[in-house]
Structure 1
């Protein structure tokens, strides 16, 4: 034990010297290590656990945004990251995956999506020494649980404005994954932005499922049919907030000339297939990547307390993408004007339809 203490102290001394040298050069040193627990001495690599929502990595939406945050932390903070994906959509499975990560010493453990709320509440109580973070839920509080929530209504307001201004028919559509308050924030913001930018615009709304059925995040075929119906009714721009189901809307847009899609969570123009990319007007960018990265960074720096962290326009937590410059350029000036009104408090975006 004495030798272990001496080794640990030597590591700490070396780390301190490196830190001081970095600060003396005017640069902030990389933060990537945490106390190991060997008599309170020594340093070890932080081992992060990330539990995906429905669809897992590769959904080109919500989960991929979270994955990007972990990837950045692995690269910049040199953490060790492990991901788990659900094998079935049950409360027991969610709790089992979180418990698995906590039991192997992952800390922090980050749950992606509000459907993990019950599982996080249960497992966090079993592992009080582990910090848990949950994306998109602040329905409960615990000393070791951090809620990462977003002002989705603000980003959706901007995409609603862009959609209404771009529409030739004066009709736009919204497709939500599940009819719940969280997704209704997207609807409320989108509708408010559309009607503010273009009074008289008509907004068609539909959802893929309603509680207790949460399948709406994984039924692209159903989203495709709803989008096709909306197009037949005169809608020419559709915003889909439904995770992996959004692929169905993109398929419908690709098949119908003169229509536009609005993506969600990540900049879907960057990941879409070439055949549909040009028809993605914009995306409501929800910086889940920033939230995940910043939570890992905060943990490393010693912030282990529970609480709520909210990401909005002011913190670059939400916004709208402009990757498809040719498409968005004609309406960008007006949309940016509305963005400034939100930032200065002139406009308060509704959170309920």
Structure 2
């Protein structure tokens, strides 16, 4: 997404990227735009290609736009990867919670047997429509283990990747003071900052963390203000929870100096001189598992928790920073990733 579009979208009044605050959990963003689904043409009819083919029909409903380099694009890219492998895929973008029931019904009526509603704010719509279509499977980005006979929930264990980011932070930070800027200090976000600190302490025991919440998922100005306040205390490396907080941290790093990691996507184009690492959310294995469970009729009441062991959570050093981070640190990141994947290292989840 171009930077002008990013800033324009983030300045609009929108619901949070990840949650309804009282429920204190992560969720997808929701825009104010009129939600006309932008989707691939519906060409197949229910059951026209047999049981296995019908089970491989995936609809993905996005709360935002598919080129945000973050939350929405992660889901869009996964859907397109499956489409390239022969899965019948359709995507709707910029769908509001109020319009979500209509969009979900549209895809259920068209015979899409696995429908992913990629936002916490689609919770009510999913459970409402799922009752009307007991033979269609729905999934939502709740992360709170709320499921049903034909409803799955999926987690966002970004804290595992944040632990690896801590190794990069320990290498690049001159002061040893690390910053975490959250949209809100909810458990998923809190855990990201604490996990980054835990990873950094493996290389730099004197590392410290300064955390603050901007109070908004999209207000870049508020996030920048919070990050600059942290910089004035010595912070020179940031992790963010929410797309707006990361964009604000990037602006602060450009102004005050320091480095930033992307949020569940490659945001390096937003700050090529300061974005040192990308925390990637690879949703293709998750969506693939959902399709497999639909075909095997094992979808009921699933709570999907796919992370580093399943290659869903990834961390990469951006090309511009590989020399500065160094081969030794990159090697240590890979070794640590392998130990997390095998269970030898248990990344702490610190929700508060």
What TM-score range do you get, normalising by the shorter chain?
A: 0.7 to 0.9
Structure 1, 200-209 or 239-248: larger mean CA deviation? 239-248
With normalisation by structure 1, the TM-score equals: 0.76
| Inter-partner Cα distance in structure 1 for 2:113 and 2:52 | 17
Contact 1:34 1:45 in 2 (8 A): no
Per-residue CA deviation, residues 266-301 of structure 1 (Å, 9 max, x unaligned), is 2333xx14xx21321112222224323443465467
Output the aligned Cα RMSD: 3.0
Considering only CA atoms, is the larger Rg found in Structure 1 or Structure 2? 1
C-alpha contact (below 8 Å) 1:175/1:241 kept by paired residues: yes
- Structure 1 residues 177, 101: closer, same or farther in 2, change over 3 A? farther
Distance across 2 between alignment mates of 1:71 and 1:316: 18
TM superposition shift of 1:191: 2.4
Q: Please report how far the alpha carbon of residue 71 of structure 1 lies from its aligned counterpart in structure 2 after TM superposition.
A: 1.0
Alignment of 1:58 with 2:67, yes or no, is yes
**Could you tell me how far 1:340 is from its partner in structure 2?**
4.0
Q: 1:110-145, CA deviations, whole angstroms, 9 ceiling, x for partnerless residues? A: 011323233322221222111111235243121111
Residue 192 (structure 1) aligns with: 198
Q: Which residue of 1 aligns with 2:188?
A: 182
2:115 to 109, 116, 120: 109
Q: 1:181 to 1:115 in 2, by over 3 A?
A: farther
TM-score, normalised to structure 2, is 0.76
Structure 1 residues 105, 234: CA separation in 2 closer, same or farther (over 3 Å shift)? Answer: same
Q: 1:70 maps to which residue?
A: 79
How far apart, CA to CA, are the structure 1 residues paired with 2:67 and 2:244? 9
State the number of aligned residues.
306
For residue 339 of structure 1, report the CA deviation from its aligned partner.
3.0
Q: Indicate the residue corresponding to 1:255 in structure 2.
A: 255
Greater strand share, 1 or 2? 1
Structure 1: how far apart are the matches of 2:300 and 2:184? 31
Are the counterparts in 2 of residues 34 and 43 from structure 1 also a CA contact under 8 Å? no
Aligned to 2:340: 342
What is the rounded CA distance, in whole Å, between the counterparts of 2:337 and 2:209 in structure 1?
21
* Structure-1 separation of matches of 2:50 and 2:343: 47
Q: Which residue does the alignment assign to 1:287? A: 282
| 1:25 paired residue number | none
Counterpart Cα distance in 1 of 2:56 and 2:331: 44
SS in 1 for 2:82: helix
How do 1:1-353 and structure 2 match up within 5 A? Answer: 36-37=46-47, 47-53=57-63, 55-87=64-96, 91-209=97-215, 216-257=216-257, 259-269=258-268, 272-273=269-270, 276-296=271-291, 299=294, 304-324=299-319, 325-329=322-326, 331-352=329-350, 353=352
Contact 2:238–2:261 (Cα < 8 Å) also in 1? yes
Distance, in Å, in 1 between the alignment partners of 2:53 and 2:345 is: 48
Measure how far apart 1:173 and its partner are.
0.4
Note if contact 2:290-2:299 (Cα within 8 Å) is conserved in structure 1: no
Q: CA deviation at 1:307?
A: 0.8
Deviations 1:28-78 (A, max 9, x none): xxxxx999447978966954321113x332221111110001111222224
Between 76-85 and 35-44, report the one with greater CA deviation.
35-44
Q: Is the 8 A contact 2:55 2:291 kept in 1?
A: no
Q: Secondary structure at the match of 1:133?
A: strand
